[in-house]
A and B are shown apart, each in its own frame.
Chain A
């Protein structure tokens, strides 16, 4: 369980003249769910983009599953779900997923499976244009499940979903992790932290803490993640 899926050394990213990630170093373990938490604008998305290899980085090295981030060998093994759903509005749910199924070259049965997992069976033939925001997000998530990847990078996958479905999706994430997949899931909802094996708290392009929920709460003597975050922010020398 201590094998490393993602290893980041001295990552520095500049966007629009601002340093978004400041010499960040990090190891993310294999086969576990790692939660990436922090306020909007703290660099979560940029970090995820760097890991999947679509972000121009200023400095640093990222190894993903033993390859440099962004290398061709990784493309069948990683899935990335962007924050706003990236799906084709003028295609049906099924047609969207079928396209990704063909791109990954996997059996078509996986399309039905993914549709079922995200709970969209009753709208499978509807155009995405006619779906609600939450349903679109689930289509986007389903495209990531199709290749059965070793690493899933999910940028706020459960935002705006109803609690029952959210619970079901987290159960799916858990099952994927139990089967050996590595998940990196970002959220700005601190209560999702409880569902993760490890937590990374970020603020202003830096990592405030990287530990388990239990350790975090113990270390900060806080009752929940929200207060732990506040305590970490107020701690002197946190900016160093």
Chain B
């Protein structure tokens, strides 16, 4: 991997988003609005808000980065720019690293803003350090980005790419423990949820929030998330074919 080429790509992707003010606004504002809604939805049950609030700080960026990345990469594939790029000195890993840098940065801003609002204004509390929550939120964004890159290979249009969100992420939201403890779900679903990345995102954040600190369990969750990222990026790189039919 060449850092100069990755940085060039990262700054290009960020510049693209910067010129798309509405997308930036949506990326930053929507999680804040949703978090505020959650606060009021559970107005009389603050316990629930406290339980799901911190995990949502990671699940929001994962979801939005999944969407933004899959559509951006799909555009790259369908507009001919990917083919053009692969005839230049840019390597596949440089391209993917560039994407990771750009979306990691945007995710950091997104996660920081929603965290400030949630902890500062909405009364969300965490027993673990807020910095750890933020770091995990960014990691979750990177996981979402890596999965988005991968699924973009299986979409032929932006319609299809967008549909991968309800198809792949929504079931994970239902099963990750956000709605209710996993051990109270049907046994089959509990087993399935063991294989879903978002389960580990939920676990890591909720464990940090309840004051476990960076325990062995949280380290394990983090390792699973990192592994998912590496695996998705490797598979994603394999779908970036220099030669096509």
A interface with B by C-beta (< 8 Å):
15-16, 52-56, 70, 72, 75-76, 78-80, 82, 84-92, 95, 99-100, 102-105, 127, 143, 147
Contact = CB atoms under 8 A, between A and B. Distances in A.
Contact of A82 (B20, B84, B90, B242): B84
B245 interface: yes
A104 to B, nearest CB: 6
The 9 closest A-B pairs by CB, nearest first: A86-B80, A102-B8, A86-B84, A99-B12, A86-B81, A75-B89, A90-B16, A80-B87, A103-B88
Given A75-B88, A86-B83, A87-B81, A54 B244 contact: yes
A105 B19 contact: no
Given A95-B12, A102-B8, A86 B79 contact: yes
Interface in B47-105: 79-81, 83-90
A88 to B, nearest CB: 6
Contacts of A143: 84
Interface string B228-245: 000000000000001111
Given A15-B245, A95-B15, A102-B8, 19 more contacts: A16-B245, A54-B87, A54-B244, A55-B244, A56-B245, A70-B243, A72-B89, A78-B87, A79-B87, A80-B84, A84-B80, A86-B84, A88-B12, A90-B16, A90-B20, A95-B12, A102-B5, A103-B8, A103-B89
A100 B88 contact: yes
30 contacts: A16-B245, A52-B87, A53-B242, A53-B243, A54-B83, A54-B87, A54-B243, A55-B243, A55-B245, A70-B243, A72-B89, A75-B89, A78-B87, A82-B80, A82-B83, A82-B84, A84-B80, A86-B79, A86-B80, A86-B84, A87-B81, A88-B12, A92-B19, A95-B12, A99-B8, A103-B5, A103-B89, A103-B90, A104-B89, A147-B88
B156 interface: no
B243 to A, nearest CB: 5
Contacts of B5: 102-103
Nearest to A147: B88
Contacts of B243: 53-56, 70
Interface in B1-24: 4-5, 8-9, 12, 15-16, 19-20
Nearest to A146: B88
B81 A105 contact: no
A100 B81 CA distance: 11
Contacts of A91: 12, 15-16, 19
Contacts of B86: 54
A95 B15 CA distance: 8
Contacts of B15: 91, 95
Contact of B19 (A15, A52, A55, A127): A127
B80 to A, nearest CB: 4
A103 B85 contact: yes
A80 B82 CA distance: 12
A90 B12 CA distance: 10
A102 B81 CA distance: 16
A15 B243 CA distance: 13
B59 to A, nearest CB: 27
A127 B20 CA distance: 11
Contacts of A53: 87, 242-243
A47 to B, nearest CB: 14
Most buried by B among A53, A56, A99, A143: A99
Nearest to A46: B245
A101 to B, nearest CB: 9
Contacts of A88: 12, 16, 79, 81
B245 to A, nearest CB: 5
Contacts of B4: 102, 105
Contacts of A104: 88-89
A103 B91 CA distance: 10
A64 to B, nearest CB: 11
Most buried by A among B5, B20, B245: B245
A223 B203 CA distance: 78
Most buried by B among A15, A53, A90: A90
Interface string B207-242: 000000000000000000000000000000000001
A142 to B, nearest CB: 12
